[in-house]
Structure formats: structure tokens, C-alpha cells
Amino acid sequence: MNQPLHHPAVPYGRDFNVTDRVVIVTGGGQGIGREYARQFAAGGAHAIIAEANLDRARAVEAEITAAGGSALAVHTDVGDPSSVDAMVTEVTRVHGRVDVLVNNAGIFTSLKMKPFEDIPFDEWERVLRVNITGCYLTARAVTPSMRAQNWGRIINITSGSVPLGVRNYLHYVTSKSALIGMTNSMARELGADGITVNAVQPGGTFTEIPRETITDEGKARLIASQCIPREEVPMDLVGLVMFLSSPAASFITGQTIAVDGGLTHW
């Protein structure tokens, strides 16, 4: 009989602890990413805010450290391989390793809705470069550290727009759809190394970031379509992301899990 790959010293099924984990959150300077960083730090993890806007990243870092948590702001353009590699080098210099990657950075709120044939080619390329290539680059950069310790968590943030087939955001929906495929394939490649790869699928989550394309009427229709008829907020996503980052989720990989109040049913 084949022996198990791992012989945990503690019962993984009861270990929800993220204390001392080194957690990179891309796009952690605002919105849902900010909440991930704040809550990981509150749980005792070292939160890395990998963010293109360094001022925002430093503001979140200051917020976390003022509350007694551990945080590090690092300027990161996820679409630039050299920037991603430099970020991971800095994290390993400070903390010695990477335990968790939350691939949260993406272009969405700044996009204007338009028919797919009207999307400028440079906009199409920019969205795919950040939303899907950026996730590939960051996952590639953290994998050596995770392999070295035979433990790691990669969590890709996709979107409920994929199963819904939302109109007039073809580049965004395409990128988030590709991210699900990347999750499935990457899980196959990394499972034997003790690294799990999963995707979290948020619904229409409302943050401090303004969204001109959402009207009060549209928001009401969205909420009415959910099984749980209330507004989704960033904290609704935190529990699943932290669970998938913990030892308790060691046998879950290659999954896409919706957190949307029942808006979509796979």
C-alpha cells in the first residue's frame, strides 16, 4: 500500500491556525484585498501588501501595525516579472519564506462597460496581463519557497461573473474564467509538493471603491437574486480564504468555491 505523503504532527482537521504564516496579498492596498491583509494580521500572520500603489500599501501597513499586527508594504506590478520577483525576494529576505499567496490583484472597477467589439486592444491586453498573467507570475515566483518547505497555499480570486456570463465585461470575465482553469491545472502540478491551489469566487461584493456602473436599481436586483438577500461585504470572504490557508484545508485542492449568498449554483 502506498504511504501517505505527509504525517502531520497535529490533527489537520482541527487546525485552523494561521499564526506566523507569511501571507502575500496582491492588490492588498484597497477593497477586498485590504480586508484580507487586515484579517490575516489580526489572526497572527505576517501580512505582505503587494500593491502597485505604494501609498495605499503603506496606509494599510500602518493600519495593521497600529493595531499590533505584522505587515510589510511592497510596491508590486503583478504584470511585470521583474517587479514580482523583486517583491518575493524582499519577502524572503525579511521573513525567510512564503507560506500563502492570495492572488487578489485585478483590473475591474476602473473598467467601463462596453460591447466586446468596442474594447480597445490595449485595454484587452492590459486586463489579461494583470488579471491572469499576473497570477501566473506571482504563483511562479512563490513556488520555489513553498516547495522547499513542502507546504504552501495558493488562492486565486476569480469572479461570479464567470458562471453568470455578465455582459459588456468580456475581457474581465475571460480573465477570471482562465483563472479557474489555471487553478485546476496548477493543483495537479503542485499537490505532491504539499502545495494546495484553490479559487474563491466572490459575488457582487461592495467595498469603499466607487463603481460607476452599479446603480441602486442594479444593486437591488443583484441582492434579490441571491438566496441570502443582503449586500455582500469583504468580511464575507475572509473566513473561506483564511480556512483555505490553514492546515485544516490540507486535503482541499483544485476547487472553485463560491461565496456569493447563493447567487450562483455550480
- Residue 41: C-alpha distances to residues 28, 61, 211 (Å): 12, 10, 28
pLDDT digits (tens, 9 = 90+) for 41-88: 999 999 999 999 999 999 999 999 999 999 999 999 999 999 999 999
Helices 54-66, 31-42: crossing angle, 10 deg rounding: 30
Domain ranges of the chain: 22-259
CATH class of 22-259: alpha beta
Other beta carbons within 10 angstroms of residue 125's beta carbon come to 13
pLDDT digits (tens, 9 = 90+) for 170-180: 999 999 999 99
Active site includes 172? yes
Please tell me the least confidently modeled range out of 4-13, 17-26, 27-36, 155-164: 4-13
Q: Are strands 152-157 and 256-259 parallel, antiparallel or unpaired?
A: unpaired
pTM of the entire predicted model = 0.91
**212: pLDDT confidence band, cut at 50, 70 and 90?**
low
C-alpha cell at 84: 514580482
Cα separation, 164 vs 120, whole angstroms: 23
* Residues listed for the chain: 266
CA proximity to 132, closest of 169, 182, 85, 82: 182
Q: Which of 36, 136, 169, 172 is catalytic?
A: 172
